[in-house]
Chains A and B, each alone.
Chain A
Amino acid sequence: AQKITQTQPGMFVQEKEAVTLDCTYDTSDPSYGLFWYKQPSSGEMIFLIYQGSYDQQNATEGRYSLNFQKARKSANLVISASQLGDSAMYFCAMREANAGGTSYGKLTFGQGTILTVHP
């Protein structure tokens, strides 16, 4: 089974509108962390936001917020007031605490969602 599933290969949003990028995950580990990264066309990977499995509140970082629904195992990224510069590939990733002795710091990534912001 896929550990991280991003079901939207591509999304379109109008500038200044909000957009939600979906991410569901699969783990039996009670302790885990969820991360979102942005990859512009230039190729670099930019950290956006983090949510821990024991965090009581949804994470927020500026225009980014994470809609964390633990029971549903979803961690959707919400971008408010979209800007043209938000056009990029977005990756959801998970780190499990007890993934086995060989997976200590490993991030498992989804396949990504390409976001296009229209003017």
Chain B
Amino acid sequence: DSGVTQTPKHLITATGQRVTLRCSPRSGDLSVYWYQQSLDQGLQFLIQYYNGEERAKGNILERFSAQQFPDLHSELNLSSLELGDSALYFCASSVGGYGNQPQHFGDGTRLSIL
């Protein structure tokens, strides 16, 4: 158990819809990261938050947005969903924003777009 909690574990929805993925980091971790894992793109970094502020941004689509709340949990919002958004979405957390600290991953949310 990594200590990172992601909900829901599975999500099935239709094209054009909007969903929210939730992540609770490990106790004491200030950084939260979001990654997308798909068969064609592999594991791709989406975005990082550190103590409530956006710290780094990857190949995140404009239809996607995220935030980190004062209690440090984070949400990833995906809107106008397309078939290609079907993927496993991981949240990870670490104590700081950089250094030698590993990122600990949650179990992921598997998103299926029908």
> Known: A37-B105, A43-B108, A112-B42. Contact between A106 and B100, CB under 8 A?
no
Among A35, A102, A106, A107, the one with the most B-chain Cβ atoms within 10 Å of its Cβ is A106
Question: Is the CB–CB distance between A102 and B102 below 8 Å?
Answer: no
- Please count the residue pairs between chain A and chain B whose beta carbons lie under 8 angstroms apart in the complex: 68
CB < 8 Å neighbour of B56 from A45, A104, A112:
A104
Is B97 close to A, CB under 8 A?
yes
The distance in angstroms between the C-alpha atoms of A103 and B58, with both chains bound, is: 7
Residue of B nearest to A42 (CB): B107
Residue of A nearest to B31 (CB): A105
The distance in angstroms between the C-alpha atoms of A103 and B56, with both chains bound, is: 5
Q: Which of B13-21, B43-51, B66-74, B76-84 contacts A (4 or more CB under 8 A)?
A: B43-51
The interface size of chain A toward B, counting residues with CB under 8 Å, comes to 25
Is A90 close to B, CB under 8 A?
no
Question: Is the CB–CB distance between A44 and B33 below 8 Å?
Answer: no
Q: Mark B2-33, 1 if CB is under 8 A from A, else 0.
A: 10000000000000000000000000000101
Question: Is the CB–CB distance between A106 and B56 below 8 Å?
Answer: yes
Question: Is the CB–CB distance between A105 and B100 below 8 Å?
Answer: no
Question: Is the CB–CB distance between B58 and A105 below 8 Å?
Answer: no
Question: Is the CB–CB distance between A105 and B98 below 8 Å?
Answer: yes
Question: Is the CB–CB distance between B50 and A102 below 8 Å?
Answer: no
Given the complex, which residues of B lie within 8 Å of A35, measured CB to CB?
102-103
13 pairs of residues in contact across A and B, judged by CB atoms under 8 Å: A44-B105, A44-B108, A46-B105, A102-B56, A103-B58, A104-B50, A104-B55, A105-B97, A106-B58, A107-B33, A107-B35, A107-B45, A112-B42
Known: A45-B90, A46-B2, A107-B35; 12 extra A-B contacts, CB below 8 A, are A33-B99, A44-B2, A44-B105, A44-B107, A45-B108, A50-B100, A102-B58, A104-B97, A105-B33, A105-B103, A109-B42, A112-B42
| Chain A contacts to B: CB under 8 angstroms | 33, 35, 37, 43-47, 50, 52, 91, 93, 95, 97, 102-112
